[in-house]
Amino acid sequence: MAQKKSHEVDAFLNRPDRSSVIVLIYGPDKGLVSERAAAFARSTGLALDDPFAVIRLEADDIDSDPARLSDEARTISMFGGERLIWVRNAAGQKGLAEAVKLLTAEPPTDTHILIEAGDLKKGAALRTIVEGASAAMALPCYSDDSRGIDAVIDDVLSREKLQITLDARQMLRDSLGGDRLATRGELEKLCLYAHGRDRITVDDVREAVGDVSALSHDEIVDAILVGDIPRFSTAFDRVVKSGSPPFLILNTAMRQFQQIQILRYAVEQERKTIAAAVASARPPVFFNRRKLVENALGRWSGDSLIRVLERLQKAVLESRKNAVLAVPIVRQTLLAFAVEAARAGRSR
């Protein structure tokens, strides 16, 4: 069968089989799916910013017009050479599955088909078609085990030219996993925290990645998520007066917005209802917070969450570079998010 086990995927991506014209990358870990799809795209050697060489399509567009995939796959490049058709957000679309089935029967030449999908259960049409085809390959992506987490830690820290003590690595390993995107986000946040130093210690991990879920910090972020500006101001002032470092508030905000981002993906791409996405969250959302999280999911889109997380990372660095202004930097950043959520609530 044309499929790899999860631990064989990286080896395949390092040396792709050129006979696999159609590559399906799928799984519940959307961050890992995205990362590996990009790795396969780079392995083709094509210029990914060349619109003539790389054609990007949405699965829903193919679902509504199945002939489009075949037409694109058999189109000869204007300047010759190979092409890549990159299909994103595949799920249970019947039209897409039928389009792929036609291509597996008569694979195109000089064209790679890359399909990026969510969690396709065994027996799903698209997965079954690819696994049964000789010119295709299915690559599953599941949450990182300890070996996978170590590889990501090494990748991010080596890029930032940082070392880490053995105790700190163990603590870090125990704190990560579940989603590759969230794991990289936590590691990049840790690197920002350790900026200017050579080695990451246990204290660094405890401060930057540890479970900083104190009630006061969670109260601030809960208020931000649903646009409760008066509650945000009261909770923020109380935490600042207690002497708690404002960096810890950013930690909590980063963690909670990452969780909302994962749930938002389940709503937008896996087509779950908001209530179903929250009910199936891992780790689970505490019962007394479910209504609040459902409310937040109705206010934040996938694009807005990406922007929020990027701005949070910038705020971490700015607050460390300008320690004297850390409190106003953090307050202004978080207040802007609360205002945005409040506006989104009024427009619903």
Q: Is the pLDDT of residue 211 over 50?
A: no
Encoded tokens for 270: 């896996």
Between 155-164, 233-242, 269-278, the lowest mean confidence (pLDDT) is in 233-242
Of the pLDDT bands very low, low, confident and very high (cuts 50, 70, 90), residue 348 is low
Quote the Cα angle for 7-33-113, to 5°.
100
What pLDDT does residue 119 have? 86
Domain 215-347 in CATH 1.20.272.10 = yes
Residues of the chain with CATH 3.40.50.300: 6-140
- Can you tell me the distance from the alpha carbon of 172 to that of 208, in angstroms, rounded to the nearest whole number? 10
The CATH number of 146-208 is: 1.10.8.60
**Tens digits of residue pLDDT in 252-282:** 899 899 999 999 999 998 889 999 999 888 8
Which H, E and C letters describe 268-310, residue by residue? Answer: HCCCCCHHHHHHCCCCCCCHHHHHHHHHHHHHCCHHHHHHHHH
Q: Which of 243-252, 266-275, 321-330 has the lowest mean pLDDT?
A: 243-252
Cite the residue boundaries of each domain of the chain with CATH code 1.10.8.60: 146-208
- Across the range 107-133, mean pLDDT stands at 93
Span between the terminal Cα atoms of the chain, in Å: 48
Percent residues over pLDDT 90 in the chain: 55
What is the CB-side half-sphere exposure of residue 56 using CA atoms within 13 A? 10
CATH of 6-140, one of 3.30.420.40, 3.40.1160.10, 3.40.50.300, 2.40.170.20: 3.40.50.300
Between the CA of residue 107 and those of 103, 141, 277, what are the distances in Å? Answer: 5, 25, 37
Mean pLDDT in residue range 6-28: 90
Q: What pLDDT does residue 29 have?
A: 80
**Pairing outcome for strands 54-58 and 163-164:** unpaired
Confidence category of residue 78, pLDDT binned at 50, 70, 90: low
The predicted structure's pLDDT at residue 130: 96
pLDDT the model gives residue 206: 77
CA distance 108 to 103: 7
Q: Are 21 and 33 in contact (CB under 8 A)?
A: no
Q: In this predicted structure, what is the pLDDT of residue 306?
A: 94
63 pLDDT above the threshold of 50 = yes
pLDDT in tens, 165-188: 988 888 787 667 656 777 888 898
